[in-house]
Amino acid sequence: MFAELMSWVKQMVCLVIFLTMALQILPDQRYVKYIRFFAGLILIAALMKPLISLLGANGWEEEIILQIDEQNAADMDWSGMEEVQAEVYEEFASRLTEDIAE
């Protein structure tokens, strides 16, 4: 348990150092608020990981994603896809020839 805690603390320290370095090397200060926002999200996710693993929820997110993918694949209607593809290709070709003609 102590080794896991030390590993987690080391990961947090490394993450904070990396995020601080990323903020320091930004050439333009107008992106600082966006980088801080995403860095905060990453830090929150890293802080929550041990809590989730203590609750016994390891791998639950992968199972949910797989279930959603299977459901979406089953719900897809692939009939008429060739016609749609042909229409898109014809539209692209006509616009391309118009652009070349100009």
More confident residue, 72 or 31: 31
pLDDT bucket at 60, cuts 50 / 70 / 90: low
| pTM, to two decimals | 0.48
C-alpha–C-alpha distance, residues 42 and 48, integer Å:
10
pLDDT at 2 over 70: yes
More confident residue, 98 or 76: 98
What's the pLDDT score for residue 61?
61
**Percent of the chain beyond pLDDT 70?**
79
pLDDT at 18 over 70: yes
Which residue is it, tokens 């593809």?
Answer: 85
Residue 13 is given by DSSP the state H
**b/e sequence 9-33, b meaning 16+ C-beta within 10 Å:** eeeeeeeeeebeeeeeeeeeeeeee
What's the pLDDT score for residue 57?
56
What's the pLDDT score for residue 3?
83
